[in-house]
Amino acid sequence: MLTRKQRELLTFINVRIGETGVSPSFDEMRDALGLRSKSGVHRLVSGLEERGFIRRLAHKARALEVIRLPETAALDNHKSHQKHPAQRTKPLSASAVTNFKGHAVQLPLHGQIAAGTPIEALRDPNNFVDVPSNMIGRGQYYALTVSGASMEGDGIIDGDIVVIEEGLQFENNDIVVALVRNEEATLKRIEAHNNRIILRASNLDFPPQEYAPQDVSVQGRLVGLVRKY
């Protein structure tokens, strides 16, 4: 799933390449989307690259290639997983990954969260999912569906349902739901260093994201996930 800005940027890049044969500059992308700085463009481009919609061509300036458009996302996403079977099957831990049959409790399922670059958090008060009762404690919990590949190094793959304990507290290297700039949510390992917040993917193909502390608020920490086969 793409945010509105990601979809607008992908369309702009695709049209410009079709018209001129050359991808637009970051300044042109910034102006086309009405953004205030190129840092926002870099984040959107990284998000499109992480999701497999575009590719940066090495050793060339202004070299972006559109690989697919949203209408073909489902088919291509399935193919991409076939290419990396080792990453798909790496377990998070014996207790955290559960394909369960037995006593369950219902948690609110608040929509999709990116395991890649942040996407807009979706909340649906009418959606629920069953999770094992022994996975949760006395706190408040909710569930989210993972979208993206950046946490595959921790055994968290696209389509998994992660169970989140609500709360603001975290320790360095916890996997958390982080709300970025009060509008976009992401699942990442978090570190706080030298008045900066670093959100790290466990897939080394995805670079760390660094923010000022006021730009990030923790919405909860990962306690487990449910995978349906």
pLDDT tens, position by position, 68-77: 887 544 334 4
pLDDT value, residue 229: 62
- Given this model, what pLDDT does residue 115 score? 65
C-beta separation of 215 from 196 below 8 A:
no
Could you tell me if 199 and 105 lie in one domain? yes
- What is the predicted pLDDT for the residue at 122? 52
Average pLDDT over residues 31-49: 84
Are residues 47 and 136 part of one domain? no
- Residue range(s) defining the domain that contains residue 214: 86-226
- Contacts of range 65-72, beta carbons closer than 8 Å, 24 or more positions apart: 65/17, 65/23, 66/10, 66/13, 66/14, 66/17, 69/10, 69/14, 70/2, 70/7, 70/10
Q: Which of 36-50, 64-78, 192-206 has the lowest mean pLDDT?
A: 64-78
Higher pLDDT, 163 or 147: 163
Lowest model confidence (mean pLDDT) among 22-31, 127-136, 146-155, 193-202: 127-136
Model pLDDT, residue 169: 86
Domain count, the chain: 2
Both structure tokens of 178:
């982080």
Residue 90 is a catalytic residue: no
Question: Of residues 14 and 21, which shows the higher confidence score?
Answer: 14
Place of tokens 């909340």: 123
What pLDDT, on a 0 to 100 scale, did the predictor assign at position 38?
81
Active-site entry in 5, 23, 147, 188: 188
Q: What percent of the chain has pLDDT over 90?
A: 18
> What confidence category does residue 80 fall into, taking pLDDT thresholds of 50, 70 and 90?
very low
Same domain, 55 and 100: no
Query: Does 188 qualify as catalytic in the annotation?
Result: yes
Identify the domain boundary among 58, 82, 106. Answer: 82
Q: 162-179, pLDDT tens digit by residue?
A: 999 988 889 999 999 998
- The closest alpha carbon to 174, from 213, 218, 211, belongs to 218
Q: Could you say which of 82, 97, 125 is where a domain stops? A: 82
Q: Which of 46, 150, 202, 217 is catalytic?
A: 150
